[in-house]
A and B are shown apart, each in its own frame.
Chain A
């Protein structure tokens, strides 16, 4: 596919974007030819999603220009983008599960003859649309009976209706079971043959090498470069993404490891769960911080969810302080001395209608309430201890409602809860998700201090810097399997990213 013979479909020139004085995109340029697949790469926070949101009309650019087919365009709202043929495929899909593929595709626009729906025509139309993307399923199948992959493709089909010219796919294979991308890729190839262009955002380098023509890499809000896939190697991309500068915001605290020879407080062997992850073995010594790094969809979060008892593993054993434990619910986990700070604290971690004190003490009532009655003063003392220790800041004292705390402080409240519950092992799922840069360092410092006092910490993250900042040891996960183990000293951003992206070169 030579570029010279192609049309330049989209040009984004020197895009700038700042939020509250923080520059998120700095002179980023991107070009897209008709009928190509362009991979958009970069770590979390590199600016990919901001760039896309500008293209999509969700955000407004501060500077720079956008051209479609050589003509300047203004995209001030999503409708403008849609009119220009720009479509987004999100991970969150909206569909009616009981209705057929046809009905979901043609929702609101079923073909009719007079008053009645013409089902034959409807199914036929659906079949044609599906065939365009090489999807060979019976359109009368209810959506809920399709596999995840098939549903994703149906979503694509739905999206390309109308004059779609540019489709942005954001981590489309994240929820796919491993090795099942072929179907999606066939659909993408079919789309491309019709002259539609795809911007493919993904961390999965092996997939990118299969499907993309070129790759644009962003780092820290700047454009690193654009290369043709045919001309480069895996490691080149990794190097572009990672760079060699020191990134700001990481904790520089020394990683001294205590209790090196102490018996492990947590032992996991042979843990497997369906297609999520298999044969996971790990050990955690008291005072050790182990980070599990994986990219979106690697299954690393499912691992700690299973350890915490949210789901039951198919096989494998867990032992705490040498004693095997059977964990089938969070209550079992807590009893065994394991706590979990979940990923989405608003939905999974906190009761937003309650105040700080109540949320902190939520898991340790046995100590704070005698005979079922709360000892208010004891409760307050305990809560205050953690508020001071962790530096939780709130506007109105511990009676402040959780809604009014910042993300970082909310996260600390969840942390405090498990500390109050006196766990031996603390699991964290994306510890600083949604927490601003300043507060992150704070949380890392807290974690290190807690570790130095004997707490064993297992955290899961898709943020490379984070994992490198805090962990003593780092495990990488790719498509449900552990692909590497590194000590802090031996790990580098390149090696980690490589291992987590499934590459070996």
Chain B
């Protein structure tokens, strides 16, 4: 489907240094409006505790969204990230007694890399549609998470390990620091290195990139590996923060990740996208979740909101391009 491209809504976005006015500013304005409205509805929203809680809650999604954005820019798609996060958490927690905490972490990261590698090979070498590939992997990996944990949550209470998810560095939660570092790395990668440039080229026109002698398949493979790795890192941090690894963790995470990325203006077909947009997308989604929790709105409304928001974002893009009226009348 993504390679067998479906007619797609043209997404607008751009790259450093100019964030194109329409989408970037629009999102920013939306976000500011959100913040204002929510702060009116809930006095806790801008309180100190929440200001720490909020970024932390989006950190996990953010970690994954960052590298998934890179993958999507290059024309790929990875729906197995949630499952990978869970599996790695389970792997780390269950192997910690044998390998020691940090050995277990290394083990977990390796697993993430392997999953990404497998995804990448299936897509680039065998040529299976990324949607099917990562859906299949989602099932298999999630299943493995349940198998290895036997359906139970596995605690991992280790002081040092706990610092990852619950500690601070110079007053800033380690989690946030980690996300920021990953973000910076990704930005550098995408905007300053040959790899990033190649991903934009490959996503923009993979045929021309191939004819320009770029290693299209190899670079796409790397993107899948990075995606798996980021999911693994997220899994490690999540387990550290919660002190326990659950096989059902992060169910539905991939949906949020994809939604955040698309909200942020990255196109599903590739070639266009912006990490800053993703950042905004993640913040918007996360803030929405956070606000709903504060306002004691059922989590289920959040799901509804997510769906509606996604449609609005994409639909508004159509509107901006001026199509909406014409479309509603049934002409194309």
Contacts and interface: CB of A to CB of B under 8 A. Distances in A.
A/B touching: CB–CB < 8 A: yes
A351 B201 contact: yes
A349 B208 CA distance: 5
A20 interface: no
Nearest to A308: B211
A365 B196 CA distance: 12
B10 to A, nearest CB: 11
A351 B211 contact: no
Contacts of B212: 330, 349, 362-363, 417
Find the residue from B195, B211, B271 having the highest chain A CB count within 10 A: B211
B205 A373 contact: no
A306 to B, nearest CB: 13
A372 B196 CA distance: 10
B211 A354 contact: no
Given A354-B200, A362-B201, A349 B211 contact: yes
Find the residue from B197, B207, B208 having the highest chain A CB count within 10 A: B208
Contacts of B241: none
B223 to A, nearest CB: 15
A123 to B, nearest CB: 30
Given A331-B213, A334-B213, A354-B200, A348 B208 contact: yes
A354 B213 CA distance: 17
B213 A353 contact: no
Nearest to A333: B213
B193 interface: yes
Interface in A305-353: 308, 310, 330-331, 333-334, 340, 342, 347-353
A308 to B, nearest CB: 8
Given A330-B213, A331-B213, A333-B213, A372 B193 contact: yes
Contacts of A372: 193-195
B214 interface: yes
Interface of B is mostly: helix
Contacts of B215: 331
Interface residues of A, number: 26
Interface in A384-428: 417, 421
A304 to B, nearest CB: 12
B208 A347 contact: yes
B193 A362 contact: no
A347 B212 CA distance: 12
A332 B209 CA distance: 14
B194 A365 contact: yes
Find the residue from A349, A351, A421 having the highest chain B CB count within 10 A: A351
Contacts of A354: 200-201, 204
A381 to B, nearest CB: 17
Interface in B54-108: none
A90 interface: no
Contacts of B214: 331, 362-363
A486 B79 CA distance: 59
A333 B208 CA distance: 15
**Contact size class for B?**
20 to 34
A417 B214 CA distance: 13
B320 interface: no
A330 B211 contact: yes
A83 interface: no
A103 interface: no
Nearest to B210: A330
A443 B194 CA distance: 29
B184 to A, nearest CB: 14
Nearest to B207: A348
Contacts of B205: 347, 350-352
Given A310-B211, A347-B207, A353 B194 contact: no
A430 to B, nearest CB: 14
Contacts of B272: 353
A353 B271 contact: yes
Given A310-B211, A349-B211, A373 B200 contact: no
A358 interface: yes
A315 B211 CA distance: 22
B208 A374 contact: no
Contact of A348 (B192, B194, B204, B211): B211
Nearest to B270: A353
A334 B209 CA distance: 13
Contacts of A331: 213-215
A349 B32 CA distance: 42
A437 interface: no
A361 to B, nearest CB: 8
Contacts of A417: 212
A373 B271 contact: no
Nearest to B188: A373
A351 B209 contact: yes
Contacts of B209: 351, 362
Find the residue from B194, B214, B272 having the highest chain A CB count within 10 A: B194
A330 B192 CA distance: 25
B274 to A, nearest CB: 12
A333 to B, nearest CB: 7
Given A350-B205, A351-B201, A351-B205, A374 B193 contact: yes
Contacts of A353: 200, 204, 271-272
Contacts of A137: none
A352 to B, nearest CB: 7
Interface in A428-468: none
Contacts of A333: 213
Interface in B166-213: 192-195, 197, 200-201, 204-205, 207-213
The 4 A-B residue pairs with the shortest CB-CB distance, nearest first, are: A334-B213, A351-B204, A365-B194, A353-B204
Given A331-B215, A354-B200, A373-B192, 5 more contacts: A330-B212, A354-B201, A362-B197, A362-B212, A373-B193
17 contacts: A347-B205, A349-B208, A351-B205, A351-B209, A353-B204, A353-B271, A354-B200, A354-B201, A358-B197, A362-B209, A362-B212, A372-B193, A372-B195, A373-B194, A374-B192, A374-B193, A374-B194
